[in-house]
């Protein structure tokens, strides 16, 4: 109401109140951002890892047995080596030394295609938190509102619209976005050597919490040259069984840290 109802007599007092609110929001965002370990904002440019997956273990977890007809498929799939490259722009999966020939191996091409989608899907779900862009950046406008459980952070900008809920200690607990795509999510964090690390995130394509279609991603971490990057990734898609893979032989590329300007707080 102060923004719209300032009289001439109270103009200076009103201006002070608005300025105070803006400073408070900015200070709170700085404090929140500093709590999280976002390696891509600390000088990590990219990382490249071998991807390990136990196809025999996967079949046992899903079917509790290994059908004899599946043995040739498992052996052929296990022989394929993958690497994954991750930078600010996303995730790229490659087969080493080249894409496999799977003609004549029952279901092998279908399973390999599914696995090639699981790998980047899980890492891309981790990316907004590893870059800190889950919080408002650039010209995005935002404001914090104190609520009983902690804080509500509302964001609006070019191609960005959403709300985050944060606990009293500023851990992100859940969120709903309208842009860039309709989505809801809940998160868990653990303490790491450089700040909070995302332990898990559950995502859905609608803000209706009673609806189905939830995908579940969880992460454990490894230290590679001072950066915390995923080590074991477990994915439970909304429409299929769980998958778990390991990242090993990781190599990182470092660069200069570029500070992202804080967004404006005015709506």
At 212 the pLDDT is 59
Q: What is the pLDDT of residue 146?
A: 94
Average pLDDT over residues 44-62: 95
186-206 average pLDDT score: 93
Write down the pLDDT at residue 97. Answer: 72
Asked whether residue 263 is assigned to any structural domain, the reply reads no
237 falls within a domain: yes
Instruction: Examine residue 2 and state whether it is found in any structural domain, yes or no.
Output: no
Q: What pLDDT, on the 0 to 100 scale, is given for residue 44?
A: 95
Task: Specify the pairing of strand 160-167 against strand 183-192.
Answer: unpaired
Compute the average pLDDT of residues 30-42. 94
Count how many domains the chain has. Answer: 1
Does residue 226 sit within a domain?
A: yes
Whole-number Cα distances in Å, 201 to 36, 49, 196, 197? 15, 22, 14, 11
266 domain-assigned: no
Considering the domain boundaries, does residue 41 fall inside one? Answer: yes
In a domain, 79, yes or no: yes
Q: Say whether pLDDT at 43 is over 50.
A: yes
Q: Which residue has the higher pLDDT, 98 or 112?
A: 112
Q: What is the pLDDT of residues 152-182, one digit of tens each?
A: 999 998 888 899 999 999 999 999 988 777 8
Torsion angle of C-alpha atoms 203, 208, 209, 215, degrees rounded to 10:
-20
**Is residue 56 in some structural domain?**
yes
Most confident by average pLDDT, 107-111, 227-231, 263-267 = 227-231
Task: Name the residue range of residue 101's domain.
Answer: 11-254
Cα dihedral 38→232→217→195 (10° resolution):
-30
């Amino acid at each position: 109401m102060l923004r719209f109802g300032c009289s001439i007599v109270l103009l200076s007092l009103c201006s002070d109140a608005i300025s105070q609110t803006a400073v408070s929001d900015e200070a709170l965002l700085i404090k929140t951002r500093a709590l999280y370990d976002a390696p891509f904002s600390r000088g990590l440019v990219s990382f490249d890892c071998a991807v390990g997956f136990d196809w025999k273990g996967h079949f046992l977890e899903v079917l509790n047995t290994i059908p004899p007809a599946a043995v040739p498929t498992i052996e052929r799939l296990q022989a394929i080596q993958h690497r994954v490259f991750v930078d600010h722009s996303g995730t790229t999966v490659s087969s080493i030394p080249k894409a496999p020939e799977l003609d004549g191996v029952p279901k092998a091409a279908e399973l390999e295609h599914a696995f090639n989608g699981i790998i980047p899907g899980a890492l891309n779900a981790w990316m907004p938190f590893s870059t800190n862009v889950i919080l408002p950046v650039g010209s995005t406008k935002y404001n914090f509102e104190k609520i009983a459980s902690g804080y509500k952070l509302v964001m609006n900008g070019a191609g960005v619209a959403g709300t985050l809920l944060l606990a009293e200690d500023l851990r992100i607990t859940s969120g709903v976005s309208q842009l860039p795509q309709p989505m809801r999510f809940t998160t868990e964090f653990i303490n790491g050597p450089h700040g909070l690390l995302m332990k898990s995130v559950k995502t859905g394509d609608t803000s209706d919490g009673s609806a189905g279609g939830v995908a579940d991603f969880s992460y454990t971490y490894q230290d590679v040259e001072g950066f915390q990057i995923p080590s074991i990734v477990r994915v439970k898609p909304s429409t299929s069984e769980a998958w778990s893979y390991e990242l090993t032989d990781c190599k990182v590329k470092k660069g200069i840290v570029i500070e992202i300007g804080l967004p404006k707080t005015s709506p």
